[in-house]
Amino acid sequence: MASSKSEQLLKDDEPMMDISSLIDVCFLLLIFFLVTSTILPTERDLMLKLPDGRGVPSEDVVINLSVDAQGQIKMKSGGVEEVIDSDSNNRNLPKLVDRLQLFKMAAGPNDVVAMIDVDDAASQQRFIDVMNCLAGEEVTKVAFTARD
């Protein structure tokens, strides 16, 4: 009987750790960091107006953009193809912005329609850079062309 009492005392003396206060502190830290952090939008929102399948009206100015596997951005308008940017590390694309501004001025009250052809091997970041330029110049009519 003495041995059972000593075993019972040993079991009762085991330390127990109360972690409820630790959980409270973790939740408070989580709430603190969520409230104090700021969400920085790195990409712009582009309210796309996808074509309805009836074709592009003739009064709209159409710009054909293509992004190849090496990250080169080419613009084709009026049968002439021009390399806009070949440096895939340049994310601002100032030459594309200039061309878009020229086309918007030339279009006048009509809309500018961007037709984009992206190679499957092209980086997603390069495509997003082109979309950011279109959003910055408020080109909302964007169509994506499929490769055969």
Q: What is the CATH number of the domain that holds 110?
A: 3.30.420.270
Per the structure block, which two tokens stand in for 18?
């109360």
Does residue 135 sit in the same domain as residue 88? yes
Summarised one tens digit per residue, pLDDT across range 115-131 is 999 998 888 999 999 99
Structural domain of 136: 61-144
pLDDT tens digits along 70-83 = 989 999 877 788 88
Tell me what pLDDT residue 26 has: 93
Could you please report the per-residue DSSP string of 90-139?
--S-HHHHHHHHHHHHHHTTSPEEEEEEE-TTS-HHHHHHHHHHHHHTT-
**Residue 88 counted as domain residue:** yes
Tally the domains of the chain.
2
Based on the domain organization, do 74 and 125 belong to the same domain? yes
**pLDDT tens, 85-113?**
888 888 888 899 998 998 888 888 888 88
Residues 92, 32 share a domain: no
Alpha-carbon distance 130 to 148, whole Å?
22
Confidence of residue 7 (pLDDT cuts 50, 70, 90): low
